[in-house]
């Protein structure tokens, strides 16, 4: 038994978080509007599930609106998907994100934001403020089109 383990009767795991981007920040794509975010989301989305199952993705951006990464955070059914704030913000914090764009698909092809979409967006925006982050948009994606809650003025 070492002196370190003799001090405590418990073995306590040590957590270490690291982030090593493979690309210089200045070489990352810059997201300046909903259309550029949509194009990246659309190219990243699993096309085989777009019209079958709702999924929620997050796009993480640095302070210069440069793309850090995209992560799928939830899969749902044909008419809804739930997002767990602990998972969403855990990923965002680990990546060092300053900004986030949410996106989910509507398999029906209807891209109008419903009350649940707006409420979820505003909940995530409030949580982000506490962490000195910002949710800057939420896209609803269909096969050939999208809508931006920010562009439509639907974000508090």
Is residue 9 situated within a structural domain?
no
**Two structure tokens written together for 146:** 């999208």
**Is 15 within a domain?**
no
Listed in sequence order, the residues at least 6 apart from 39 whose beta carbon sits closer than 8 Å to its beta carbon are none
Domains held by the chain: number: 1
* pLDDT at res. 34: 97
Q: Which of 60, 138, 135 is CA-nearest to residue 103?
A: 138
In a domain, 93, yes or no: yes
Is 132 a domain residue? yes
pLDDT at site 11: 83
Q: Is residue 54 in a domain? A: yes
pLDDT at 46: 84
Radius of gyration for the alpha carbons in the chain, expressed in angstroms and rounded: 18
Q: What is the pLDDT of residue 3?
A: 54
Q: What would the DSSP string read from start to end of 101-145? A: EEEEE-TTS--PPPHHHHHHHHHHHHHHHHTT-EEEEEEEE-SS-
In a domain, 24, yes or no: no
pLDDT for 65 equals: 96
Please report, in tens digits, the pLDDT of each residue of the chain (156 residues total).
555 555 667 788 887 766 677 888 888 899 999 999 999 999 988 888 888 898 999 999 999 999 999 999 977 776 778 889 999 999 999 999 999 999 999 999 999 999 999 999 999 999 999 999 999 999 999 988 999 999 999 997
Q: What is the pLDDT of residue 6?
A: 56
Instruction: Identify whether 110 is part of a domain.
Output: yes
CATH of the domain at 125: 3.40.140.10
Q: Is residue 21 part of a domain?
A: no
The whole domain housing 133 covers: 30-148
């Amino acid at each position: 038994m070492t002196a370190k383990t003799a001090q405590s009767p418990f073995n306590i795991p040590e957590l270490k978080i690291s982030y090593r981007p493979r690309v210089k920040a200045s070489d990352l794509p810059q997201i300046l509007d909903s259309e550029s975010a949509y194009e990246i989301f659309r190219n990243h989305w699993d096309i085989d599930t777009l019209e079958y199952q709702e999924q929620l993705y997050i796009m993480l951006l640095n302070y210069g609106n440069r793309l850090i990464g995209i992560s799928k955070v939830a899969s749902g059914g044909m008419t809804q998907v739930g997002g767990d704030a602990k998972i969403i913000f855990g990923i965002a914090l680990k990546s060092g994100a300053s900004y986030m764009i949410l996106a989910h698909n509507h398999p029906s092809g209807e891209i109008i934001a419903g009350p649940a979409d707006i409420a979820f967006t505003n909940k995530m925006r409030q949580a982000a403020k506490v962490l000195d982050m910002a949710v800057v948009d939420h896209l609803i994606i269909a096969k050939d089109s999208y809508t931006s809650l920010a562009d439509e003025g639907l974000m508090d």
